[in-house]
Amino acid sequence: MMALTMMLIALMVCLTLGIGMKVREKAETQTLADTAAYSGAVLTARTFNSIALLNRVEVAQMVSLIATQSLVSYGSYYRAMVWGAREQFQKAHDVPGVCPNADACLWCTRWEQLIAAADGEINRLNNPANAQHWDAMDADAHRRIGRVLGQGGGTHAAQEALYDDLMQSQLVGLGLPPLANAIVQRVDQASGERQGELTAPATVNVVNQRELGVSPLCLPGDPQLVCRGGPSEISIQATMGTRWYAFERSARNLSQTLEDTLMLRMGLNSLIGEGARVDQFDGNTRYVSRKDPHGAPGGMGVVAEATEGRMRLMVMATGCGPQTLGPDEVTAWVYSTSYLNANDGHYFTYPGRGGGTISISEPQGTHQLSSSCDPPIAPCGIWPGFMDMNPGHADPGQEFVDLYGQPKVTYAVQRDYARRPTEADPWNLLYNISIRPSWQEQFDNKGIRTARGLDISMQTALATGLVYYHRQRHWQEPPNFWNPYWRATLVSGAIDNDGNPTRGGTDLQRAVGNGFAQQVITQLDQQGFKGWQ
């Protein structure tokens, strides 16, 4: 009895140790999978936050560019006013009966003096001998715009490099998933005589590629999340939404500046009697975005800064009363279009003596990309690429399809018991037994193959991390690539329709690959199992 008792006690100890080791190893494998999934989600969240910050940098660069365009438009508008004033003076001078001086008011002489003053200001603006003449200053503005555009393109390139590193170097490699594999291999190397058992299979790559891949057209129905192409309406609105300076939005503070500058530079106050002044000014500065009026195909169309308004001059002479000229339209446009054509750059118009307006266009390509716009058929818009999130994924009606645009990162870790030498596991009782003679299947404790030949040697653990968006006190704000509030957590692999076998999802099966684990998932689903984790 003593010998039998000791044998039973030894058997129970071995069973306890053997089962306990299997449970511990399963917990270790699951912890390893959780660590890899959480690390992948953290890495993705940090990449998204970096992309959001770089989007903001691009917006700041484009605001600087648009502000420069505003100044060019404003300067062009002043030049148009000078030329328009000169045309009005000449028109008054050419009225029959004015010249030669027909009366004591000497209006012919006075108009000639005003024309000479206007010609002097025009010469100051356009004379190459003047260090600050128009073409030199305009070229400087063009070069600045080119530098800002280059910086915007460089910022977008940095975004793409971050994303490519995330996908190729960390999440979805050509063979194994690099991040998970690095974590698993580090643990495997520390396992002593059991090295080579742990792997991170590449079967999860197809799931992560769909969740984080690039959408070719960024349409609502595309399964991929990331858009890395050209500008979006969001990027344009984000840029223009920061332009609340009165100088750029309204001409109310421009009118007095224009009047004072015109009278000062042309010396109108000192020429005749009480002088001449801008009697009426009604204008504004504005940003426009519309189709190219010159017929260039595709792209965002015209993106322009316009300064426009009406000007009326009043000339005073002592004893002769005032004479009012105008009002006439003056306009300056600074174009940055999507395609290079003969009207790109900027132009201004001013009233002509023969009726209608006179238009002057600057050289082709002024104030937008230069060398990269050759040949003329190449797209040359001012907007660099902005990395964005597919807006269709934030649709509340698709909450269990796209999770409001919040991607999941799935990893699997497997332990191959077939690689373990028998002597390395002394407490494992390698046996199989039929519970009942009528049962075809046997209980198998070898952990390699069942009596019917089914390979069960691969222990598998799955884990899923969620990259989610959360901004305190702004719970209604949808996930986006414009604010750096992306975070990471662990979730059930069946959190969405693609991962839930009950709803027809196949992500779990794809992640574990062909084998025993996939069959277990499929058969559990067929038997109505609901407790997916």
Rounded-to-integer distance, Cα 66 and Cα 303, Å: 10
Contacts within 8 Å (CB) and 24+ apart, 501-504: 501/525, 501/532, 502/530, 502/532, 503/400
pLDDT at 268: 64
Each residue's pLDDT expressed in tens, for the chain with a length of 533 residues = 999 999 989 888 887 887 888 888 899 999 999 999 999 999 999 999 999 999 999 988 888 887 788 788 888 888 888 898 889 889 989 988 888 888 888 888 888 888 888 898 889 888 888 877 888 888 888 888 888 888 888 999 999 999 999 998 888 877 788 899 999 999 988 877 678 889 999 999 999 999 999 987 788 888 899 988 767 777 777 776 665 444 444 544 555 566 677 777 776 665 545 556 666 666 666 665 555 444 444 444 556 677 777 788 888 777 787 888 888 888 887 776 545 455 557 788 888 888 888 888 776 566 765 444 444 444 456 677 889 898 889 888 888 889 999 999 999 999 988 887 766 666 666 666 666 666 566 666 666 777 667 788 889 999 999 999 999 988 889 999 999 999 999 999 999 999 999 989 999 999 998 888 898 899 899 988 888 76
Predicted pLDDT of residue 279: 63
CA distance 382 to 146: 9
Q: What is the pLDDT of residue 329?
A: 83
Half-sphere exposure of 80 (CA within 13 A, CB side): 31
User: Which helix (H) or strand (E) element contains residue 466?
Assistant: strand 458-469
Report pLDDT for 425. 66
The three-state secondary structure class of 79 is helix
Provide the residue type at 15 as one letter: L
- In the chain, where are the structural domains located? 26-56+177-230+395-526, 59-161+231-373
| pLDDT of res. 42 | 96
Q: What are phi and psi of 381, to 5 degrees?
A: -65, 160
Cα angle 202, 207, 208; round to 5: 85
Q: Other C-beta atoms within 10 Å of 471: how many?
A: 15
Res 74: pLDDT:
81
E strands, 318-356, are 321-337, 346-351
DSSP 204-254: GHHHHHHHHPBPSS--TT-S--EE-SS--HHHHHHHHTT---HHHH-STTT
